[in-house]
């Protein structure tokens, strides 16, 4: 199977008042199409920094990729311009973070938030995007999508909110979905449901 992502000898530093922090030193891994890859390590070992580097979401002011390559379908993401990267983010590679409360915009309806990437990246009309949103809400197991689409994040439970975050991440059919501890903010039974959902979605998509 072909590699969709290859990280080669990645080295990342942060420049702080206390000097240079070498957060990542010589990270190597590859991901094949259809594969699930788990990155495991103790707190502070650099898991989040690695995944943020792939998405180019590290703080621009004080972080630096010192060495290495992040090859997505053979292209080095570390070398793309911000504009080129914006096209890849959300469309080819998307990411889910720990806390669904801070990932969602509290002032916007859930429907509008899932619609946004569809209108922005895929030039969908409003009505086509609405259809796709209903489909996505069903896919991630949210009942009564016609009602839910008009509601705000605070009207959802924690687990339901993370399902919405997953729906947004999947909206444009990304080739890679990065999840950085997607269940940490949820209680144990809901954690199991979300992991089960992700396994199921991976098989289907
Ligand atoms: N913006 C930053 N400025 C300076 N140092 C940073 C910054 N972000 C992360 N670091 C440092 O980089 C190292 C790796 O952090 P990272 O968040 O990737 O760890 P992690 O493996 O994801 O840990 P956890 O499991 O606790 O989330 C840590 O030493 C951290 O202090």
Q: What is the pLDDT of residues 120-166, one digit of tens each?
A: 888 899 999 999 999 999 989 999 999 999 999 999 998 899 999 99
- Cβ(142)–Cβ(148) under 8 Å? yes
What CATH fold (topology level) applies to the domain 100-204? Rossmann fold (3.40.50)
Nearest partner of 3 among 52, 47, 69, judged by Cα: 69
Q: Model pTM?
A: 0.89
Question: What are the sequence ranges of the domains in the chain?
Answer: 3-80, 100-204
User: Is the C-beta atom of 23 inside 6 A of ligand 1?
Assistant: yes
Q: How far is CA 170 from CA 12, 22, 41, 108, 142, in A?
A: 28, 33, 26, 19, 14
Give the pair of three-digit tokens for residue 17: 């008042």
Residue of the CA atom closest to atom 8 of ligand 1: 49
| Most confident range, picked from 20-34, 81-95, 170-184 | 20-34
What local confidence, expressed as pLDDT, does residue 68 receive? 97
CA of 47 to the centre of ligand 1 (A): 8
CA of 71 to the centre of ligand 1 (A): 22
What is the residue whose two structure tokens read 């996505």? 136
CA of 94 to the centre of ligand 1 (A): 20
Inter-axis angle of helices 158-170 and 126-139, nearest 10: 130
Q: What is the pLDDT of residues 42-57, one digit of tens each?
A: 999 999 999 999 999 9
Residues 62, 81: Cα–Cα separation, whole Å: 18
């Amino acid at each position: 199977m072909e590699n969709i992502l290859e990280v080669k000898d990645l080295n990342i530093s942060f420049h702080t008042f206390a000097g240079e922090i070498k957060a990542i030193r010589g990270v190597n891994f590859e991901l094949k199409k259809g594969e699930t890859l788990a990155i495991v390590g103790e707190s502070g070992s650099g898991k989040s920094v690695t995944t943020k580097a792939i998405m180019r979401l590290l703080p621009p002011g004080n972080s630096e990729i010192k060495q290495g390559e992040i090859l997505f379908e053979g292209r080095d993401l570390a070398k793309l311009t911000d504009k080129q990267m914006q096209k890849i983010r959300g469309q080819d590679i998307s990411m889910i973070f720990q806390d669904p409360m801070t990932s969602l915009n509290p002032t916007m309806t859930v429907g509008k938030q899932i619609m946004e990437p569809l209108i922005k990246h895929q030039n969908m009309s409003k009505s086509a995007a609405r259809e796709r949103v209903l489909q996505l809400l069903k896919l991630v197991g949210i009942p009564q999508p016609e009602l839910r689409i008009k509601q705000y994040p605070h009207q959802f439970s924690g687990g339901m909110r993370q399902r919405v975050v997953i729906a947004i991440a999947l909206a444009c059919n990304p080739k890679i979905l990065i999840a950085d501890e997607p269940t940490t903010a949820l209680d144990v039974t809901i954690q199991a449901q979300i992991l089960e959902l992700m396994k199921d979605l991976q098989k289907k998509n």
